Amino acid sequence: MNLKNQLENIFVSEDQIPDQYKLPSEIHQREYLSNGELLTWNGDVHAVYSPICIKTERGLERKLIGTYPVCTENEAMDALQAAVYAYDNGRGEWPTMSVADRIKCVENFTHSMLQQKDIVVKLIMWEIGKSYSDSVKEFDRTVEYIYATIDALKDLDRQSSGFEHEQGIIAQIRRSPLGVVLCMGPFNYPLNETFTTLIPAIIMGNTLLFKPPKHGTLLHYPLLKAFQESFPKGVVNTIYGRGHAIVPALMKSGKVNVLTLIGSSKVANELKKLHPKVNRLRAILGLDAKNAAIITANADLKLAVQETVLGSLSFNGQRCTALKIIFVHKSIADAFIQHLNEAVAQLKFGMPWEAGVTLTPLPEPHKPGYLKELIEDAQAHGAKVINENGGATAASFVYPAILYPVNEKMKVYREEQFGPVIPVVSFEELDTPIDYIIDSTHGQQVSIFSNDSEEVAAAIDPLVNQVSRVNINCQCQRGPDVFPFTGRKDSAEGTLSVVDALRSFSIRSLVATKNNESNKRLLNDIVHGHHSNFLSTKYIF
Ligand code: G3H
């Protein structure tokens, strides 16, 4: 079968779906968690159609996998009220609880979450089309992240469990929560990236309003009970509905202390502006990116091709860290293109449950049309689709397109494609890609491929001041999760890593007094009597 025929046959009929990957049934969520209760919703619902299409007599149809509530501003405001009440201006049970007890709650949650692994993994696969093996990895990485967060908080707490003496003042310095956090995650890592903000936010003593991503909502449903049972009421509240209908009122209320969003800079800008007290609002954001690869004449070509494929096509290019534009030195451009072409042709495409599959259907219904537009625009400005069937589309599936030579007149030169399109630009001087990065509105990461130490060093120094991570001879990526993950310009605000996230969702507070006998007696009484959870020398083992 040639590639074109294979593409047409990528989808299967209902009876050809292997039993072990099927959902037990359609999932019709009617509950949402607010103020410690799983409330029933009887209003409008959103139908969730999987990017996985099914062959039917009527042709290919996205499979309906369930529905979820489309609540209104009223329910969102009730949830906000619950979070505000649970925080109670820092006097609530949760923000004043000892770190050790908060850790216990998160451990209980994780234990219950693990019991839901099978269904959550299947829902990741069905809702966003991520390969089954990558869906499992996403779940496992999230659990590891939670445990690493607990360990990091224990370390932080141990470091703060003593008193400091300075210039006649005794003080104990710890980190305190900030208040109510509005947390919104992205569709591409709907569990992992959401939890890399949600977990640190909760564990530091904040209370939470959590809006799951539009594609990637149902997979959180099996976890609602675990949230309900693991935390005091009002600590975790879920909100469902159209973002533009429910989120503005939350921001305008001025009661949200932290906005954490992994998504677009446009949405983040709009939301921040709605808050009446800008100085009270902290924003922790992971936003757009257009990471470049710079492949010089001194690169190991095989390695550069291998990493370009991984960097630009893992999860179909739908990663904020994906390589979204490739600069290759003119002297090796033809060879690079040829090898890239061959490597892309080797990638397995198909249904997400197939072993070894890399390329799978795309969840956003508008995406195939958008990518087609980008490709046609590039062609109109002189680029060619270099690979056979590049850009070929079958319903929600788009076969990767390698575009060459790409220039500044094309939309794909600047726009974040977030999909399987690889724009390749040739350059003669290293200044060309460096100037591109300087002019870019993004500043997340870059990958430089070269084995010439002087050349690499000359690129590192200007690039570290433009982006937040310079990768040498490897693709861009977020992990390991203990490394700082951030970006400059429109790419991020605040830093997320296991340790940094704990700092991002808290503020340093200290209790201080003059070093004299009566104050020392007072502090000793408090500490020895275990009267305060903040002023304490308890050591978490
Ligand atoms: O979407 C952006 C993710 O943070 C990327 O994470 O580089 O580990 O795939 P990753």
Q: How confident is the model at residue 115 (pLDDT cuts 50, 70, 90)?
A: very high
C-alpha–C-alpha distance, residues 234 and 220, integer Å? 17
Is 208's pLDDT higher than 80?
Answer: yes
Mean pLDDT of the chain: 97
* Secondary structure (DSSP) of 116-137: THHHHHHHHHHHH---HHHHHH
Is 1's pLDDT higher than 70?
Answer: no
Crossing angle of helices 117-128/132-159, nearest 10°? 120
C-alpha–C-alpha distance, residues 253 and 417, integer Å? 35
In the block, tokens 């490709």 appear at: 375
Q: What's the rounded mean pLDDT across residues 403-432?
A: 98
Name the residue of 321, 416, 495, 496 whose CB sits within 8 Å of the most ligand 1 atoms, as the mutation to test its pocket. Answer: 321
3-state class (DSSP) for residue 469: strand
Q: For Cα atoms 371, 376, 378, give the angle at the middle one, nearest 5 degrees.
A: 95
Instruction: Report the nearest-CA residue for atom 8 of ligand 1.
Output: 478
Whole-prediction pTM value?
A: 0.96
Is 4's pLDDT higher than 80?
Answer: no
State the distance from the centre of ligand 1 to the C-alpha of 477, rounded, in angstroms. Answer: 6
Least confident of 3-12, 154-163, 432-441: 3-12
Q: How confident is the model at residue 336 (pLDDT cuts 50, 70, 90)?
A: very high
φ, ψ for residue 179, nearest 5 deg: 135, -130
C-alpha–C-alpha distance, residues 275 and 253, integer Å? 7
Q: Return the percentage of the chain with pLDDT > 70, whole number.
A: 100
Contact residues of ligand 1, CB 6 A cut-off? 188-189, 193, 319-321, 477-479
C-alpha–C-alpha distance, residues 178 and 383, integer Å? 50
Instruction: Report the nearest-CA residue for atom 2 of ligand 1.
Output: 320
